[in-house]
Amino acid sequence: MKKLINSPADLVTESIAGLGAAFSDLIKVHFDPNFIIRADAPVRDKTAIISGGGSGHEPMHGGFVGRGMLDAACPGAVFSSPTPDQMLEATKAVDGGKGVLYIVKNYTGDILNFEMAADLARSEGIEVEAVMIDDDVAVKDSLYTAGRRGVGTTVLAEKICGAATEAGTSLSDVAELCRKVNASGRSMGMALTSCTVPHAGKPTFELPEDEMEIGVGIHGEPGRERTKLKTADEITKILLDPVLEDLPFKSGDQTLLFVNGMGGTPLLELFVVYRKAHRILTEKGIGVARSLVGPYMTSLEMAGTSITVLKLDDQLTRFWDAPVLTPAFRWGI
């Protein structure tokens, strides 16, 4: 196992310590339990947003903490849910009196622990709502999920909902907005290679040199099928067709096109995928009004990509464009 780490046991704590040192103007890192909050938390009279999940998907979620996006992120061990006590402590640290929204990717551990944290927070008098993201069209159920998995739309929901809370949106309204974003986004991913979880010390799965996994999950969970390698254009179509058919997206729609890198795929290649995806959408009369390309929701060093398409309206576009100041997203400020 070739990794820049000291020990698997210290990896997450040391990494968030580095994140905190690098961005001490934007965020504060709390240890034991581990969570990351914006530097000026709690923000009085603003609805707060918390997300979290297993580590290994960076910059998600710690890199999304800051003005205009998340108030806190709770990182678990690599590919493991954070615990309810982490979430509860983060909730208490960011609640500004208008309640807290949990944005939860649909994985069984995350769902259970965020539910438990919500109950604990409510018993301490903090209003909490939880919204689940389940945008992955690849499979119905999976290794760690009942129902669809939560993937790329999570990134977009956190940006859009974060902007809404900056604009004064209430807890119930931002929860409704988050459900709308989830209902408007669809994703599918693929892997060329596995990743290696540090504690395991060996690749999560084995892929022959001439094969790929279509519909892979962000923890290396199996997808729809293993097939022979294909060209980037063919792979793009294989991912995008089910995404577009599912909502369905149709001619005249305006969209945000998000080509995500799984961690080990060069940007050079992601833009080849973006080019083809943009063409497919354009040929169908679907407008690409906004774009995001890069490794935002990764699976350690896995090589591969996922494509997310989000149907935009004026409200979602305005909140996407709104100022944001976090380690991973910063514009307009």
CB of residue 100 to a second copy, shortest distance in Å: 26
Catalytic residue among 30, 61, 199, 219: 219
DSSP character at residue 84: H
CB of residue 132 to a second copy, shortest distance in Å: 25
First-to-final CA distance of the chain = 41
Of 283, 177, 290, 294, residue with least CA distance to 240: 283
Catalytic residue among 57, 61, 199, 278: 57
Q: In this chain, which of 49, 87, 157, 300 binds a second copy, going by CB under 8 A?
A: 300
Residue 133 CA to residue 121 CA, distance in Å, equals: 21
Q: Which of residues 255-274 bind a second copy (CB under 8 A)?
A: 257, 263-274
Query: Chain centroid to CA 14: how far?
Result: 22
Asked if 21 is part of the footprint of a second copy (rule: CB under 8 A), the reply reads yes
Q: In this chain, which of 3, 122, 199, 250 binds a second copy, going by CB under 8 A?
A: 3
Which stretches does DSSP call E strand in 124-252? Answer: 128-133, 185-191, 211-214, 225-228
With tokens 């809370």, the residue in question is 165
Helices (H), the chain: 11-22, 84-94, 108-123, 153-166, 171-184, 232-246, 267-283, 314-321
Question: Is the distance from CB of 105 to CB of 77 less than 8 angstroms?
Answer: no
CB of residue 273 to a second copy, shortest distance in Å: 6
Closest to a second copy by CB, 25 or 45: 25
Cα 190-194-196 angle, rounded to 5 deg: 140
Closest to a second copy by CB, 117 or 286: 286
Asked if 11 is part of the footprint of a second copy (rule: CB under 8 A), the reply reads yes
Closest to a second copy by CB, 101 or 235: 235
Asked if 146 is part of the footprint of a second copy (rule: CB under 8 A), the reply reads no
With tokens 């998000």, the residue in question is 258
Segment near a second copy (CB under 8 A); pick from 7-15, 131-139, 149-157, 173-181? 7-15
Structure token digits, residue 142: 């999976």
3-state DSSP: the chain helix, strand, coil percent, rounded to 5? 35, 25, 40
Site string for a second copy, 75-94 (x = CB under 8 A): ---x----------------
Residue 81 CA to residue 101 CA, distance in Å, equals: 18
Asked if 283 is part of the footprint of a second copy (rule: CB under 8 A), the reply reads no
Closest to a second copy by CB, 111 or 207: 207
Closest to a second copy by CB, 20 or 84: 20
Residue 198 CA to residue 72 CA, distance in Å, equals: 25
Query: Chain centroid to CA 181: how far?
Result: 13
Asked if 200 is part of the footprint of a second copy (rule: CB under 8 A), the reply reads no
Number of residues lying near a second copy (CB under 8 A): 62
- Can you give the length of the chain in residues? 333
Amino acid identity for residue 51 in this structure:
S
Closest to a second copy by CB, 97 or 331: 331
Asked if 58 is part of the footprint of a second copy (rule: CB under 8 A), the reply reads yes
Q: Tell me whether residue 32 is exposed, middle or buried, using C-beta atoms within 10 angstroms of its C-beta: 0 to 12, 13 to 18, 19 or more.
A: exposed
User: Is 219 one of the annotated active-site residues of the chain?
Assistant: yes
Closest to a second copy by CB, 55 or 106: 55
Binding site for a second copy (CB under 8 A): 2-7, 11-12, 14-19, 21-23, 55-56, 58-59, 63, 78, 192-193, 209, 212, 229, 231-233, 235, 257, 263-276, 278, 288, 291, 293, 295, 298, 300-301, 303-305, 330-333
Catalytic residue positions? Answer: 57, 219
